[in-house]
């Protein structure tokens, strides 16, 4: 039977029956290419198996059956374990995505070495570098003595056969999934169907042998090779490794986790000896802060269970352009637009004739709505030229009415601020039992905060709660 060509988006995996310039599923341009090896999402041995009219009967189990918590193996890297939800779960599959050169291979050879040093069988399969290159890096990181089993291999059938010999590895790292290819799929390595088919074969191995599998996935912007999104739905945990090339720290952020929370982050610093864990990231993010400058506010945020203080910087300057500029780094531009609109509508702050720049210091990316108040404070401070009290932190979500809305985990935020020497906190009412730890200033409405900042450093009456 003649096979119709199929076309697949190399970024998100959407399948089309004809070529198109723009993928309708993810909006990517020029990402749809012919991918005729695709037999749909089930490509792989299942698709090539001769059809059986009658299925095999398998045992069904009760939901109330024996329930053992998944035993985990800690990798002895606290930041990595935190993101996984407490260590490696046997048979689980973790996808780690990130830009090329961000440090994925460095992190994973370090993790592999730590786990191997604990007396477990660990295999590190590189499809990108020769064994000598991986060894050279491990040598430079001081890990050469770790009993990690190394190979440079890209054929999935060979990899599965090799790993199946002897005791199954506790951990196998595949660097990267885009370089792998399986004989069951016709198309070229790096295409959607190859990446999917290879991932499926490796995942099947992990599930049947109880091996924790880490797949590295490059994020690709040009869509020439399939991105990690193509396999996201097949794995148990998806984490992205992020950072700016200009900064030394890197953040591992879980986006999906079947065995743990998804809002945890792990913070690392890239050094000449590899990635070092950063147990107290607030100190790192606040290092080198300029206290007397208007336009900077410290946000007391939460990343999962951990409080994190970061500096938000704003610059408001009169514009000569017809349409003033709004530029944001590290925060959601539509939230900035909302905060600017609320400042204008409910607090009398007119920024229509000003360019506005907002930057989260250190290259951190903030997603919490609780950052609204800190951003607003930084903006007002920059506009008025009045520096904010240096020993203060800010948190609170701003509603469209200008009301400052409560946020979660206020005690943890205030405690972290107090630990780092911040004596006062600006937040929504009621600030509750956290009150003993710092001087708290509760504001119910954005206009009250603006009046407070504009009045300079005059100390306010402590708000009633
Ligand atoms: P790498 O782990 O190869 O990135 P990826 O696998 O995500 O593509 O990291 C490469 C970068 O890390 C490279 O720019 C050099 C830097 N690096 C250090 O700064 N210190 C080190 O000890 C190592 C091994 C790498
Ligand atoms: Mg690499």
Closest CA to ligand 1's atom 14: 101
Nearest to 93 by CA among 185, 206, 220: 206
Shortest-distance ligand to the CA of residue 138: 1
Sign of CA dihedral 286, 287, 291, 294: negative
Q: How far is the CA of 419 from the centre of ligand 1 (A)?
A: 33
> Contact, 102 vs 250, CB < 8 A?
yes
At 49 the pLDDT is 53
What gap in Å lies between CA 241 and CA 224, rounded to an integer?
A: 21
Residues with CB under 5 A from ligand 2 (ion): 105
Distances (CA, A) of 123 to 111, 212, 320: 11, 11, 60
Nearest to 146 by CA among 168, 184, 173: 173
For the segment 285-335, what is each residue's pLDDT rounded down to a tens digit? 888 787 778 999 999 999 888 899 999 999 999 998 889 999 999 999 999
Shortest-distance ligand to the CA of residue 140: 1
Alpha-carbon torsion, ordered 221, 223, 226, 229, to 10 deg: 50
Name the helix (H) or strand (E) containing 141: none
Given ligand 1 and candidates 98, 99, 101, 108, which is best to mutate, with the most ligand atoms within 8 Å of its CB? 101
Query: Does ligand 1 lie within 6 Å of residue 127's CB atom?
Result: no
At 120 the pLDDT is 94
Q: How far is the CA of 105 from the centre of ligand 2 (A)?
A: 4
Query: What is the number of other CB atoms lying within 10 angstroms of the CB of residue 105?
Result: 21
CATH for 72-279, options being 2.60.40.790, 3.40.50.2020, 3.40.50.300, 3.40.50.1820: 3.40.50.300
At 134 the pLDDT is 92
> Contact, 294 vs 386, CB < 8 A?
yes
Query: Does ligand 1 lie within 6 Å of residue 223's CB atom?
Result: no
CATH topology of domain 284-455: Ribosomal Protein S5; domain 2 (3.30.230)
Kindly state the percentage of the chain with pLDDT values over 90.
52
What gap in Å lies between CA 37 and CA 306, rounded to an integer?
A: 46
Residue with tokens 């198309």: 187
List residues bridging with 212 in a β-sheet.
171
> Contact, 214 vs 96, CB < 8 A?
yes
Closest CA to ligand 1's atom 23: 274
Query: Does ligand 1 lie within 6 Å of residue 218's CB atom?
Result: no
Query: Does ligand 1 lie within 6 Å of residue 274's CB atom?
Result: yes
Closest CA to ligand 1's atom 12: 103
Q: Where are the domains of the chain?
A: 1-36, 72-279, 284-455
Distances (CA, A) of 235 to 93, 95, 174, 206, 231: 5, 7, 13, 11, 7
At 362 the pLDDT is 80
Query: Does ligand 1 lie within 6 Å of residue 313's CB atom?
Result: no
Query: Does ligand 1 lie within 6 Å of residue 102's CB atom?
Result: yes
Query: Does ligand 1 lie within 6 Å of residue 43's CB atom?
Result: no
List, for the chain, all residue ranges whose pLDDT scores fall below the cut of 50: 38-47, 457-465
Nearest to 25 by CA among 223, 283, 237, 219: 223
Shortest-distance ligand to the CA of residue 126: 2
At 245 the pLDDT is 74
Quote the pTM value: 0.80
At 3 the pLDDT is 60
Quote the strand ranges of 272-372, DSSP E: 274-277, 296-303, 306-318, 326-329, 354-360
Query: Does ligand 1 lie within 6 Å of residue 103's CB atom?
Result: yes
Angle, in degrees to the nearest 10, between helices 372-384 and 333-347: 60
Distances (CA, A) of 107 to 110, 206, 241, 364, 367: 5, 21, 10, 19, 24
At 464 the pLDDT is 36
Residues in the chain: 465
Q: How many helices (H) and strands (E) does the chain have?
A: 11, 21
Our measurement of the distance from residue 240's CA atom to the centroid of its chain's CA atoms, rounded to an integer in Å, reads 4
Query: Does ligand 1 lie within 6 Å of residue 101's CB atom?
Result: yes
Nearest to 355 by CA among 391, 395, 384, 319: 319
At 41 the pLDDT is 46
At 462 the pLDDT is 42
> Contact, 194 vs 178, CB < 8 A?
no
């Amino acid at each position: 039977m003649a096979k119709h060509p199929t076309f697949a988006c190399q970024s998100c995996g959407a399948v089309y029956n004809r070529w198109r310039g723009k993928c309708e599923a993810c909006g990517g341009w020029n990402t749809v290419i012919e991918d005729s090896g695709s037999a749909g999402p089930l490509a792989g041995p299942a698709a090539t198996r001769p059809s059986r009219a009658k299925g095999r009967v398998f045992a069904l189990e009760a939901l109330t059956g024996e329930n053992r918590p998944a035993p985990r193996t800690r990798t002895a890297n606290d930041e990595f374990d935190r993101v996984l939800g407490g260590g490696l779960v046997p048979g689980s599959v973790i996808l780690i995505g990130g830009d090329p050169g961000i440090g994925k291979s460095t992190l994973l050879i370090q993790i592999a070495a730590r786990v191997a040093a604990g007396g477990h069988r660990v295999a590190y399969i590189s499809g990108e570098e020769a064994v000598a290159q991986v060894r050279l890096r491990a040598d430079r990181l001081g890990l050469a003595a770790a009993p990690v089993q190394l190979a440079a291999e890209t054929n999935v059938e060979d990899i599965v056969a090799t790993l199946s010999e002897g005791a199954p590895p506790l951990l196998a790292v595949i660097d990267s999934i885009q370089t792998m290819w399986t004989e069951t799929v016709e198309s070229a390595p790096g295409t959607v169907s190859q990446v999917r088919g290879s991932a499926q074969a490796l995942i099947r191995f992990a599930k049947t042998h109880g091996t924790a599998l880490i797949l590295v996935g490059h994020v690709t912007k040009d869509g020439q090779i399939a991105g990690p999104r193509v396999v996201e739905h097949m794995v148990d945990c998806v984490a992205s490794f992020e950072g700016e090339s200009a900064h030394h720290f890197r953040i591992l952020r879980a986006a999906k986790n079947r065995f743990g929370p998804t809002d945890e982050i792990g913070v690392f610093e890239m050094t000449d000896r590899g990635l070092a864990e950063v147990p107290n990231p607030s100190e790192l993010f606040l290092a080198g802060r300029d206290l007397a400058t208007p336009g900077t506010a410290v946000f007391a945020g939460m990343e999962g269970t951990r409080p994190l203080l970061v500096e938000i910087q704003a610059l408001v300057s009169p514009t000569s352009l017809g349409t003033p500029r709004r530029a944001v780094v590290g925060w959601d531009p539509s939230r900035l637009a909302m905060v600017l609109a609320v400042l204008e509508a409910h607090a009398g702050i007119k920024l229509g004739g000003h360019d506005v720049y907002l930057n989260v210091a250190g290259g951190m990316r903030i997603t919490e709505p609780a950052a609204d108040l800190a951003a607003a404070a930084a903006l007002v401070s920059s506009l008025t030229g009045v520096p904010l009290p240096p020993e203060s932190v800010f948190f609170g979500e701003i509603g469209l009415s200008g009301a400052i809305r409560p946020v979660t985990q206020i005690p943890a935020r205030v405690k972290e601020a107090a630990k780092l020497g911040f004596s006062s906190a600006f937040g929504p009412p009621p600030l509750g039992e956290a009150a003993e730890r710092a001087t708290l200033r509760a504001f119910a409405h954005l206009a009250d905060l603006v009046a407070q900042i504009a009045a300079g450093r005059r100390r306010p009456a402590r708000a009633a709660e």
